[in-house]
Amino acid sequence: MKPIIIATLALAAISCSGNKGTGQDNSNTAAADSISPVAELSQKLREAAANGRYYYGHHDDTAYGHTWKYAEGGSDVKAVTGSYPGLMSWDLGMIEVDSTRNLDGVPFEFMAAEMASQDARGGINAISWHPLNPISRGNSWDVSASPLKEMATNTAVRDTLTAWIDRAARFVGSLKDSDGKPLAVIFRPWHENSGTWFWWGTGNSTPQEYIDLWKLTRERFDAAGVDNVLWAYSPDKDLTPEAYFSTYPGDEYVDILGTDIYHFGDEEGVAEYTARIKAQLPYVAEEAAKRGKIAAFTETGLEGLGVTDWYTRVLAPAIEGIPVAYVCVWRNAIESEKPNHFYAPYPGHPSADDFKKYHDANRAIFVNP
């Protein structure tokens, strides 16, 4: 149940890429062997933010891209920049029903292997979860039933959720690095709960019901002995600090304070997106610092990158000076399935040159192949 708090940090002695690989930030690795994997992960994130840098993240980066699926060495980010993202994000949706593949078709076995590879190159892995609705069995966006309103009184709902959380815990707890040692990851369940679109979100649960879900999740992971996790809390945009913290499970349950804010509407949406970031991310970072936590921009992006210099002209200036440890954009779906659903450029896209500049500016952390 204890959050990871590192009281004193020997920042200079700890490398962003630990002792695991050939990431761009390799420096001194002497301290890395003596601490637990999760403490090492915490230190990597803290050191990045303390140095004015952050891990660049991309969801499902090596699973598929705009024009390919499961190709050895495949990554749209690498194809454009020469580097893998410093952070890779993955999703557990469908693990709750023992599926071998997640909701976007990614085999869990593949995912586990890719996480080990990402770790070996000095990178980081973060995991979200879009589970089914435990009452309707529709997807995460199915709000026709509100399980959290029933969790306290309906034992069937509670038992289902508990079993589902246990399956997630089993997978997360089983993750190993390339040496067979426990692999530390960021786990970000029940995200964007301030929005109304998920069954665990606003309108489908009270703040207390949501907090109880978090507590149940932590209790089950802890009971299963899963200790390779940094826990990330990530409500959505347009929140006052009071609203942000109204569903906060508590410092003893959370290691990373995050937020999800997307850019909508290409050029005409630039000002609104920037304003949303500047209204929320600074207080998230300040509160994280006060509480001894890590701050992160847990999800963002502009679908389809209709602003071709989005990375250097919109994202980079918007987050300048805000000490977040990572910034993660969402997935590049395969063109034949969702043609405009991509958040990182692919080779030949008009924003590819700008993304290379963003990579070369050396603020965002990528890792070498």
Q: At closest approach, how far in Å is the CB of 275 from ligand BMA? A: 23
Q: At closest approach, how far in Å is the CB of 127 from ligand BMA? A: 12
Question: For residues 215 and 341, which CB has a smaller minimum distance to ligand BMA in the complex?
Answer: 341
Question: For residues 14 and 315, which CB has a smaller minimum distance to ligand BMA in the complex?
Answer: 315
Question: For residues 104 and 354, which CB has a smaller minimum distance to ligand BMA in the complex?
Answer: 104
Q: DSSP string covering 183-211, please?
A: PPEEEE-STTTTSSSSTTSBTTB-HHHHH
Question: For residues 53 and 349, which CB has a smaller minimum distance to ligand BMA in the complex?
Answer: 349
3-state secondary structure of 106: coil
Q: At closest approach, how far in Å is the CB of 31 from ligand BMA? A: 36
Quick one: tokens of 21? 């690989």
Quick one: tokens of 248? 């906060």
Q: Which residues bind ligand BMA (CB under 6 A)?
A: 91, 103-104, 130, 330-331, 341
Q: At closest approach, how far in Å is the CB of 24 from ligand BMA? A: 28
Q: At closest approach, how far in Å is the CB of 136 from ligand BMA? A: 17
Residue 59 has φ and ψ, to the nearest 5°, of -75, 135
Which H or E element spans position 54? strand 54-59
Quick one: tokens of 273? 């997106």
Question: For residues 294 and 296, which CB has a smaller minimum distance to ligand BMA in the complex?
Answer: 296
What does the alpha-carbon distance between residue 313 and residue 278 come to, in Å, rounded to a whole number?
15
Question: For residue 329, which of 94, 120, 61, 149 has the smallest C-alpha distance?
Answer: 61
Question: For residues 248 and 342, which CB has a smaller minimum distance to ligand BMA in the complex?
Answer: 342
Residue 259 has φ and ψ, to the nearest 5°, of -155, 150
Q: At closest approach, how far in Å is the CB of 115 from ligand BMA? A: 16
Q: Residue 182 pairs with which residues in a beta bridge?
A: 176
